Chains A and B, each alone.
Chain A
Amino acid sequence: MSDDRATVPLTVDADLDVEVDGHPIRVTSSEDRVFLELGSVPALVRTFRRPPAVDLRPIDATLRRADLAVELRVRHRTVAALGADTRPSSLLRRAGVEPVELRLTGLVSAIGAELASAVGRVRRGIRGLRRRTESHWRVFD
């Protein structure tokens, strides 16, 4: 299977909106990379709370033969990858999920972006509440 003669590189051009049980996943690509984009960390948790009962090893082997990789992204950060030029994570292997490469830096960065977004929403909410309270008191002045 790893024989070069049996390997035919493929190019994927994807522009697809997918919903799995109501959870949206945006599918895009860049020649030899396919990106599965989730909008937030909670969306990642919801989507993969029950991981599909699929053996990923033959998919990984096929992707490598096709010189393709699939990257799972959250908030534009890659958190996991499968296929060509990826290195299976020993942490995930111990958890029985192989041969996926876990990108810890991307995961931490995505969680940071999620927290920053949540803080921003709270700040905007407080500012809006403050403005409404001030205008309310001006009515009574």
Chain B
Amino acid sequence: MAESEDPSERIDETKTWPELAIGLYDRLTGRGAEIHYEFEDMTVDVPSKVGEDADTAQWHLDGKVVITTRERE
């Protein structure tokens, strides 16, 4: 992945979970934003990969995650 790629294009081309995380990271850092996730007893079947033959694991989430940019020390 080249540095010049558009982050939004990168998310559209996502094939794996790490790629999705990297795409989200680029969106966050590219716009100096803050991401708030709040989960209330959410259950989701998470596929191991893209495709029909993917195994799934059932994830249950409850709580919050906040990601913000930080000044370099």
Q: A: which residues have CB within 8 A of B?
A: 1, 3, 6-22, 27, 31-32, 52-56, 58-59, 62, 65-67
Contact = CB atoms under 8 A, between A and B. Distances in A.
A16 B65 contact: yes
10 contacts: A10-B67, A11-B67, A11-B68, A12-B67, A13-B64, A13-B65, A15-B65, A16-B61, A58-B19, A66-B29
Interface of B: 3, 16-19, 21-22, 25, 28-29, 39, 48-49, 57-72
8 tightest CB-CB pairs across the interface, nearest first? A16-B63, A8-B29, A19-B60, A58-B18, A13-B66, A9-B70, A11-B70, A14-B65
Given A6-B3, A62-B21, A67-B70, A52 B48 contact: yes
Contacts of A13: 64-68
A15 B64 contact: yes
Contacts of A19: 58-60
Contact of A27 (B57, B58, B63, B67): B63
Given A58-B19, A62-B22, 9 more contacts: A8-B29, A9-B72, A13-B64, A16-B61, A19-B58, A20-B59, A31-B70, A66-B25, A66-B29
Contacts of B69: 8-11
* Of B58, B69, B70, most A-chain CB atoms within 10 Å: B70
Nearest to A7: B72
Contacts of A56: 18
B49 A10 contact: no
A62 B64 contact: no
A20 B19 CA distance: 21
